[in-house]
Amino acid sequence: MQVFNPYLPNYEYIPDGEPHVFGDRLYVFGSHDRFNGEKFCMNDYVCWSAPVDNLKDWRYEGVIYKKTQDPTNPEGDKVMYAPDVAQGPDGRYYLYYGLADQYELNVAVCDTPAGAYEYVGYVVHPDGTPWGEKDTDFMPFDPGILVDDDGRIHLYAGQGPMRVNEVAKNREDRFRDSAYYVELEPDMKTIKRGPIRLLPNCGESEGTGFEGHEFFEANSIRKFNGKYYFIYSSVQGHELVYSTSDRPDGGFRYGGTLHSNGDIGIGGPGTATFGSRTAKHIKAYIGNNHGSIVEVKGHYYIFGHRHTNRIQFSRQGVAEEIFMDANGDFAQAEMTSCGLNGGPLEGIGTYPTAICCNLMSKDGAGFSHYLALTEDHPYLTQDGVDRESDPDQHIANLRDGAMAAFKYFDFETHTPAKISVKVRGCAAGALKVFDAEKDGNLLAEIPVEIDAKDWTVAEAPICAQGAKTALFFRYEGKGALDVYSFTLEA
């Protein structure tokens, strides 16, 4: 058995993943996008889990909470944003979430990690006022929850401005202030202490170490080896970063980048500018990011998400092993196709192109929601409808110079002699396969001469070696090409 990125089936769109080990299983809680959705988080919460001994074996736990279960949302017209879950002092499991267009933070509870949660109320101040409703409150967005070793309950929430000129000046924008901390009573709902502001915003970070990576959203909290790790999405949007402290309620110091859904910081080609925004060295189409770290049997993994379908509303969870040094610091994880596999993929077999980890046009990649404005860029999409069991997810619109990368394969244990691709479209040229993004060895050249709406197969010899080898597919020619899968044969 192998596992890829995305680590869940290709019909599943679960971003904002919060991974937690409860008992002998790893559970991932997240919001729930819809394929080709019109806005974020349109579906009900579902859960997936895997045994801690085998992170390749993911199991669907079903719907764990519906939008209509919230008494303020009986019609289900308000989406539920990113949640988090913790086990309370009473042994029950508490789910925290926010509804669109509301300021409050909601709580649901269940006897098991992935059973059917039931609504129990708001997070409230000691006087019973919901957090978010007082004139001095900022909206508690994107909750992160930690029940500490000593039984104290730490809750984090909030959102910051992405630019200096977005500093809040009225009620509608007041939630854009910072990350906030509160300590909860054992009832998991009532604020015992706080709110306490945690991090500097844009325009006030000079000299703090947070410059250029100020807090934006996606509050998440972890504790490793006695140190608190506050993980969040920075003002860059595409990246998950972390800060550390010896205490849960402040003193956080910037640590670095954990994950970028454009592999920015790993290296790559050129600079892309879309609209008024510019980013350098983008190797995949970027948008917001949200996730966290989990420790499983002495190994650490970072969970984030990628963007598909030329929009920001169809996001899929991805995960990578990430490494901590002796000082407790993490190095940024590279995006790969093998993710939680525990090593490179087998050098023989059929692989869907949906597992590509880098994707770009000849001019590079950029911000995912600008793709609809141009025909020049490739993208991930599917033929099936939302949550169909076989959605045919694939790469669409490969044009001259476009590249898709798949990392990594073991061509030492199994060495292929032939590669075939399942393609469609109107194209005349070749798919060239290299082992590196730039100045790589040419491993195969697959002629492509098609004018077909149905999938067809093209093939060629391949010469690939090495225990950890990447495959970079670059199309050179006329027209546009969709690629469904590729097969490596001995």
Q: Which residues are designated catalytic?
A: 16, 217
Residue 6 preceded by cis peptide, ω within 30: yes
CA distance 212 to 358: 24
Strands (E), 74-226: 84-87, 93-97, 106-110, 118-122, 144-147, 153-159, 178-184, 191-197, 215-224
Do residues 45 and 80 lie in contact, with contact meaning Cβ atoms separated by under 8 Å?
Answer: yes
Do residues 172 and 111 lie in contact, with contact meaning Cβ atoms separated by under 8 Å?
Answer: no
CA distance 218 to 124: 21
Do residues 282 and 366 lie in contact, with contact meaning Cβ atoms separated by under 8 Å?
Answer: yes
Which among 108, 110, 136, 139 is positioned nearest to 121, based on CA atoms? Answer: 108
CA distance 258 to 332: 4
Q: Which strands sit side by side in the sheet containing 315-322, from one edge to the other?
A: 292-296, 299-307, 315-322
End-to-end CA distance of the chain: 19
